[in-house]
Amino acid sequence: MRKVLGRGKYDEFMADALAGNSSPTTWEYSPAPETVPVVIPDQTQLYVGGKFVEPRSKKWFATINPATEVTLSQIADGDASDVDAAVSAARKALKPWEKLPASERAKYLYRIARRIQERARELAILESMDGGKPIKESRDVDIPLAAQHFFHHAGWCDKLRYAMPGTREPRPVGVCGQIIPWNFPLLMAAWKLAPALACGNTVVLKPAETTSLTAMRLAEILQECELPPGVVNIVTGAGATGKALVDHAGVDKIAFTGSTEVGKQIAKACAARGTRLTLELGGKSANIIFADAAIDQAIEGIVQGIWFNQGHVCCAGSRLFVEESILPEVTRKLEMRMKTLRVGDPLDKNTDIGAINSKQQLTIIERYIAAGSNEGCTVWQPSEQALPAKGYWCRPTFMTGVQPAHIVAREEIFGPVLAVMSFRTPEEAISRANNSPYGLAAGIWTEKGSKMFDVARRLQAGVVWCNTYNQFDATSPFGGFKESGFGREGGMQGLAAYLSE
């Protein structure tokens, strides 16, 4: 059974599905006034050697809409034999893909970028349904940036010698295993695939288990663009599938984005076999507000830094350092601004904060809020707005009275929870900001250019934003220090990881 839904029919249909009166798994959603049918299959397949195939494991698992708890589809659970088939397909495709004239490779990347743009509305809706993020973010950030990554890297295909000065003919690394998380599903796939393909590599991609739907839609796009079979293979599954990819002897390079804990395990496995590796891991980034900053602008930067994508952002500005003299003003304004944020239906274009990606992640976030409260922090949360009865929700939250030793100041929460601390001098701000096992990103808010450059230079962070936060662009390298990983994605630096020395 397949239904086409107008915007107003959505709740009705969901109520129907929840009551067991209709199939929740195969349906179409079309927001008025345009009709954008989003067809979700009952079950997905793997994409291996240019074909959609059943998993050899013959196993599937459910992916749900975290805003409704309704099952959207059954996702193929690839096992080691599926990974093996995908690696073989990637190996077979490597030579012809590498030998293709660079300008021809570029044409495929341009085609993929354009097709993502053409199917952008459908991809945005699917991303919000599967992952819980507000549609305005999927529509304005995730999908356009995914297309931008393919456009940007298409332009690099025939200019790679400039990325590797001194090399006449840069060569690809080979077969790349790429493992991505659930917070920016399609965008992370684009970050990984575009540079790898531009450099002539072939790929086996493993999406995150809670958000595989847009990756499989991307597989359709690759097929539509007639990308040669085996150049990209997509094997869905959970941690065991990722592990099988990491452990496969036929993989020349692993690129991983995810938790520091899993990153460390992968680093050990790759070191043992001498497999090349780049790691994009967790963070606990500092957002520093000086008293001379444009305060209202900085408040928007704080909001963007911690509440964008429900705080499921590796570089979230989750530690706020405020110069002591303006702490009361910042706290008051932040509380006021927080109350204006709308939490709810990710498919509503007015929603600011969508659903938490999974029940498991919600439990983790709630534990951290309780830990902060137990350690004596004051928890600020707007309570006026009712939350939907079904789904996984967390109101925007900030905590004051936080000490650097508190758990909420040290550990990555990966949710919409901000730890607010103060400082007296730039020296103190820098040393507190650097007092973290992570080193992914930071923000500085000041009207003084000299202070901006001085502080930015001394912060141990891969990315430092000044008077802005969470800005991404394919031309800028992104990556971390310390436990936030190594290697860069984006820019010329991102290409080097996919070229052999």
CA pair distance 308, 316, nearest whole angstrom: 8
CA torsion 342-343-348-352 (nearest 10°) is: 60
Please report whether residue 186 would count as binding ligand NAD according to CB under 6 A.
Answer: no
Nearer of residues 121 and 243 to ligand NAD, judged by Cβ: 243
Contact 64, 182 (CB under 8 A): no
Q: Of the candidates 102, 268, 299, which has an alpha carbon nearest to the alpha carbon of residue 110? A: 102
Contact with ligand NAD (CB under 6 A) among 24, 282, 301, 491: 282
* Residue 396 tokens, joined: 């925007």
Which 3 state secondary structure label does DSSP give 72? strand
Of 168, 172, 113, nearest in space to 144 by CA? 113
Q: Which of 127, 209, 280, 489 is catalytic?
A: 280
Catalytic residue among 157, 199, 314, 377: 314
- The footprint of ligand NAD on this chain (CB under 6 A) covers a number of residues equal to 30
Q: Does 242 bind ligand NAD (CB under 6 A)?
A: yes
Task: Kindly write out the interface string for residues 121-160 of this chain, putting x where it contacts ligand NAD by CB under 6 A and - elsewhere.
Answer: ----------------------------------------
Question: CA–CA separation, 318 vs 305, rounded Å?
Answer: 7
Residue 283 interacts with ligand NAD (CB under 6 A): yes or no: yes
The two tokens of residue 395 are 């109101």
The yes or no reply on residue 265 touching ligand NAD (CB under 6 A) is: yes
Pick the stretch among 91-99, 281-289, 301-309, 362-370 that binds ligand NAD (CB under 6 A).
281-289
Q: Does 183 participate in binding ligand NAD (rule CB under 6 A)?
A: yes
Q: Which two tokens stand for residue 151?
A: 């456009």
Q: Which is nearer to ligand NAD, 183 or 446 (CB)?
A: 183
Nearer to ligand NAD, 30 or 214 (CB): 214
Nearest CB to ligand NAD, comparing residues 143 and 246: 246
How many whole angstroms separate alpha carbon 236 and alpha carbon 213?
A: 10
Is 375 catalytic? The answer is: no
Question: Which residue is associated with the tokens 């927080």?
Answer: 338
Compare residues 130 and 280 and give the one whose CB is closer to ligand NAD: 280
262 touches ligand NAD by CB under 6 A = yes
Length of the chain: 501
Q: Is there a cis peptide before residue 33, judged by omega within 30 degrees of 0?
A: yes
Q: Does 182 bind ligand NAD (CB under 6 A)?
A: yes
- Measured in whole angstroms, how far is the alpha carbon of residue 341 from the centre of its chain? 22
Q: Which of 196, 246, 298, 306 binds ligand NAD (CB under 6 A)?
A: 246
Told to check if 467 binds ligand NAD by CB under 6 A, we report no
The Cα–Cα gap between 224 and 133 comes to: 27
The residue type of 298 is A
Residue placing its CB nearer to ligand NAD in the complex, 111 or 488:
488
By CB under 6 A, is residue 82 in contact with ligand NAD?
no
Kindly indicate which of the ranges 105-113, 174-182, 216-224, 378-386 contains the residues binding ligand NAD, using the contact rule CB under 6 A: 174-182
Residue 259 burial by CB count (10 A; 0-12/13-18/19+): exposed, middle or buried? middle
CB of 299 to ligand NAD, least distance (A): 24
What does the per-residue mask of binding to ligand NAD show for 199-238, with x meaning CB under 6 A? -------x-xx----------------------------x
Rounded distance, CA 85 to CA 250, Å? 11
Q: Is 384 exposed, middle or buried (0-12, 13-18, 19+ CB in 10 A)?
A: exposed
> Using the rule CB under 6 A, is 368 a contact of ligand NAD?
no
In angstroms, what CA-CA distances link 232 with 151, 170, 178, 187, 464? 17, 21, 10, 16, 33
- Complex with ligand NAD: residue 446 or 484, whichever CB lies closer: 484
* 413 near ligand NAD, rule: CB under 6 A: no
Token digits of residue 95: 């030579």
Task: Let me know if 324 is a catalytic residue.
Answer: no
Binding site for ligand NAD (CB under 6 A): 179-183, 206, 208-209, 238-239, 242-243, 246, 257-259, 262, 265-266, 280-283, 314, 412, 414, 440, 480, 484-485
Task: Please give the positions annotated as active site.
Answer: 280, 314
